[in-house]
Amino acid sequence: MANLAGTPADLIDCPDCGTLQRIPARWGWTVLLCKRCTGVLERTNLRSFDASLALSIAALLLMVPSLSLTFLTTSISGATRSSLLGSSAVAMIEDGWPVLGIIIFLFTVIAPLLRYSLLSLVLGLLRLDAHPHWLGRAFRFANALQTWAMTDVYLLGLAVAYMRLKASLNVQMGAGAKCLIVVGVLSLFIRAVLDKEEVWRAIGLGRAARSGRGEPANAMPLANGNSPITCLGCDLVVIASSEGHNCPRCDKTLHRRKPDSIARAVALTTAGILLYIPANVYPIATLPIGFSSVKYTVIEGVIDLAKARLWGLALLVLTASFAIPLLKLVGLAWCLVSVAARSVWRLPLKTRVFRGIEEIGRWSMIDPFVISCFVPVTHYNALIYGRAEPAAPAFTAVVILTIIATKCFDPRLMWDVKGKAS
Ligand SMILES: [Zn+2]
Ligand SMILES: [Zn+2]
């Protein structure tokens, strides 16, 4: 295995403000903060390579019973309905919402399976000191899937759906749902213990050894007066002349800043703002309450939870479905206006707002996940049934568009206006 511990001091470019700084040789567990914007540069506390590997394999193995065993069962007047994790997508497609069904399936089944498979493979190969040429690309893809593998978010959707179903029907959580709960908790632990920098260094050292150089790809001296650039896929700092070429560690094309960042983020945010209106005006779902089914908008769903005295869930859905999408759109617009107006006002605050938006964005998927839990176990008759309504795809589109807009926006552009740090 490549030398994972005690690697030499290296350069790091702050992903928030673009300030190049030297990482000291580290000992013990620590958190390194950017000297300019005070964002977290690198965190090594609570990180563990072997724990990441073990947790990834455990999550991957538990996906099998999560998918194959009964998820939810409901019963009313002697009739029962059962679901599997994948049933939601099928039921939504049958109800006439194919895109929504496919998106739910991608976020709850395909993305987690791919992420845990790739993580287990990459970490396992590094542990065996094997360095195939595609290792960097595979790890970059596994990291990109972190946003889209939404098992953790799905757990909250499941909790809300379970409490709501319980108010109207007999409902039981099957072994499949219990296994998925464990997968969701494991996914949070994986995020906490996986030291991406450590893995990237091991991949870089392995590549260097394979190419016969014996030193990492970025060990070459930096040319005078030519500020280096940072790979957007793996944070490797490379010489400026590498721009436009592939990263020697993760194979992503190297750019100084995210390409077409502002144009893409403006287009996606505008589309998100336009879709936010139908997402809140039209009903998002029909859900069975008592012995009839009722159509709900996002806000009516919150009011219904409050009426049932489920205050915590009402606050959760209000925050995730109404406040977070609105805050994301307003926050993104603020950052975009900041770049357009070349404003240097409150840059650290704007950067923190952007990082917050990036972190919480995916949690807005709770409401579509609640609906997806409901649909396959509430198809009883013409009076008692659950299904998605027109606002559901619009709402899901707002969540996805804002997540992609955040990924397209480069916060360093806000700091570029201010010029180089002194
Ligand atoms: Zn910074
Ligand atoms: Zn890279």
In a domain? residue 45: no
Q: How far is the CA of 22 from the centre of ligand 1 (A)?
A: 12
pLDDT band at 245 (very low <50, low <70, confident <90, very high): very high
Q: 387, 355, 279: which is closest to 34 by C-alpha?
A: 355
Rounded to whole angstroms, what are the CA distances from 4 to 201, 311, 396? 7, 48, 41
Indicate whether 81 pLDDT > 70: yes
Q: How far is the CA of 166 from the centre of ligand 1 (A)?
A: 48
In a domain? residue 82: no
Question: Which token pair is 113?
Answer: 């399976």
Q: How far is the CA of 35 from the centre of ligand 1 (A)?
A: 7
Where are the strands (E) in 128-270, listed by range?
A: 170-173, 229-230, 237-238
d(CA 249, CA 257): 18
Quote the pLDDT of residue 366. 93
In a domain? residue 405: yes
Contact predicate 100/368, CB 8 Å = yes
Q: How far is the CA of 23 from the centre of ligand 1 (A)?
A: 13
Q: How far is the CA of 414 from the centre of ligand 1 (A)?
A: 11
Indicate whether 204 pLDDT > 80: yes
Q: What is the mean pLDDT of residues 137-153?
A: 97
Indicate whether 125 pLDDT > 70: yes
Looking at the DSSP bridge assignments, the partners of residue 22 are 11
Q: How far is the CA of 263 from the centre of ligand 2 (A)?
A: 24
d(CA 278, CA 258): 31
pLDDT tens sequence across 105-118: 999 999 999 999 99
| CATH number reported for the structural domain that contains residue 304 in this entry | 1.20.140
The alpha carbon of residue 346 and the mean position of all alpha carbons in its chain are separated, in whole angstroms, by 27
In a domain? residue 413: yes
Indicate whether 218 pLDDT > 60: no
Phi/psi for 158 (5° steps) reads -65, -40
Quote the pLDDT of residue 159. 94
Ligand number with the minimum distance to the CA of 33: 1
Q: What is the mean pLDDT of residues 286-293?
A: 79
Q: How far is the CA of 17 from the centre of ligand 1 (A)?
A: 4
Q: How far is the CA of 353 from the centre of ligand 1 (A)?
A: 14
d(CA 413, CA 158): 39
Q: 251, 245, 247, 225: which is closest to 236 by C-alpha?
A: 247
Quote the pLDDT of residue 290. 67
In a domain? residue 4: no
Q: How far is the CA of 411 from the centre of ligand 1 (A)?
A: 10
Indicate whether 30 pLDDT > 70: yes
Indicate whether 23 pLDDT > 80: no
Which residues neighbour 64 within 8 Å (Cβ) at sequence distance 6 or greater?
A: none
Helix (H), strand (E) at residue 160: helix 151-166
Give the DSSP letter string of 363-415.
Answer: GGGHHHHHHHHHGGG---SSSS--EE-THHHHHHHHHHHHHHHHHH--THHHH
Question: Which token pair is 287?
Answer: 């859900």
Q: How far is the CA of 238 from the centre of ligand 2 (A)?
A: 9
Q: How far is the CA of 356 from the centre of ligand 2 (A)?
A: 24
Q: Which domain holds residue 375?
A: 261-421
Give the DSSP letter string of 337-373.
Answer: HHHHTT--TTHHHHHHHHHHHHHHGGGGGHHHHHHHH
Q: How many domains does the chain have?
A: 1
pTM above 0.85?
yes
Q: How far is the CA of 240 from the centre of ligand 2 (A)?
A: 14
Ligand number with the minimum distance to the CA of 217: 2
What count of other Cβ atoms lies within 10 Å of the Cβ of residue 294? 14
Ligand number with the minimum distance to the CA of 32: 1
Q: How far is the CA of 14 from the centre of ligand 1 (A)?
A: 5
d(CA 124, CA 409): 33
Indicate whether 6 pLDDT > 80: no
In a domain? residue 81: no
d(CA 203, CA 250): 9
